[in-house]
Amino acid sequence: MDIFGHAKQAYENATTDVESALATAAAIPVSIQCWQGDDVKGFDTDASTAASGGIQATGQYPGRARNFSELTADFAKACEMIPGRKRINLHASYAVAAPGEVIERDNISFRHFVPWVDFAREMGLGIDFNPTCFGHARVKDGLTLSSPDEATRQYWVAHCRRAREIAQAMGDALDDDVLCNLWIPDGFKDTPADRLGPRQRLRQSLDEIFAAPLPRVVDSVESKVFGIGLESYTVGSNEFYLAYTAARNQVPGLQKVYPLLDNGHFHPTENTADKIAALLCFYDTIPLHLTRAVRWDSDHVPRFDDELREICAEIVRNDALARVRIGLDFFDASINRVAAWVVGARNVQKALLYALLTPHGKLKATQDAGDFTSLLVISEDMKTLPFGIMWDQYCDMQGVPRDGAWLPLVQTYEAQLSRQ
């Protein structure tokens, strides 16, 4: 028996179906964020000032992608080293303009994203989409959809409507559903005099944005605790979006909107895995952004750590792979950006495979039987099984390099570039 055979036997002794786990892992789509490749700069603003509104990509590593060709080349290179099914997650700020064209965000259209659709089709990728309500001169006093200035509010309503129309066109072009996720930076640095007014205006804006039913679009709203310069109050809080989506989804005929969970957008002591289990009781779809927070939403590259493993375990153990839409959201400018994509996405894949190889049925049965001793012992025993061999086998099956083999490929690719 070869080394994989011995490892497989060890897992099967723990009542794990190894072949099923490997096949299931290969079928799970993970949406990979385009903005890691260029530090959230986008194509429609001054690259030196693009990120704002609580968003900051830190570091000065050379080689940032500066245009569509460079960004897609880097993304394609990363995909060569990431196993499993992949989607590309786009922000509206990555619209591709014609030579000399200036794109206003309230006037973007599907034609600005046809190159992305062509790229996705060529690569065999799905697409997800996001309106970009930050990094722009029309963000007034830190507010967009909750602004008391009606012209500002209507500008961003128009932008978000356009974004949903683009997502629908992408879905039609690729014969696929497209997650269209809305995040806004709205909030205040200091204690506000009025907490209710901004949220009432945001509710009005959301009703206007989501008024048109779009069958190819899966709509979501993304909450956050705070951002840089917005430390005291966030309009789009978790409580607000949970209440908004729950209330809206009870009204027949309205397009459903879902709360997106970003595990970096909560207090460090909150458990995102527990939030997934809570929302599964009430929502048929849960969009998810995976990142790594270091004391706050710092969007670090995900590690194969306890938090990531527990989030993926919660999805798998509740048979929710078809209900949770997994995406990534991190941007690290302190290391090679292609390597950041690869290690982050591979760690998510590792966590999913690790969860799939865990005998959740057996663990649930011991819990229901009140046998907490066995529950603890079995859980701890699983940690020393030969997972690395399973991961190597999965990489081999997917035709991507094993750990230890992919970084030299990235370094060779980097050496061939002439970007500063």
Catalytic residues: 183, 222, 224, 262, 265, 289, 297, 299, 329
Tokens found for residue 351: 């966590």
Tokens found for residue 255: 């397009």
In whole angstroms, give the CA distance from residue 41 to residue 94: 9
Q: How many residues does the chain have?
A: 420
Three-class secondary structure assignment of 72-121: HHHHHHHHCCCCCCEEEEEEHHHCCCCCCCCCCHHHCCHHHHHHHHHHHH
Helices 337-356 and 306-317, packing angle to 10 deg:
50
Distance of CA 279 to the CA centre of its chain: 17
Helices 372-382 and 360-368, packing angle to 10 deg:
160
Residue 286 · residue 324 · CB < 8 Å: yes
In whole angstroms, give the CA distance from residue 116 to residue 128: 11
Count Cβ atoms within 10 A of the Cβ of residue 123 and give its class: 0-12 exposed, 13-18 middle, 19 or more buried: middle
Return the closest-CA partner of residue 338 out of 59, 65, 53. Answer: 65
Strand 126-130, strand 217-222: pairing: unpaired
Reduce the DSSP state of residue 353 to 3 states and report it: helix
Cα dihedral 262, 263, 267, 270 sign: positive
Helices 407-415 and 337-356, packing angle to 10 deg:
160
Residue 52 · residue 410 · CB < 8 Å: no
Question: Which amino acid belongs to residue 256?
Answer: K
How far is the first Cα of the chain from the last one, in angstroms, to the nearest whole number? 51
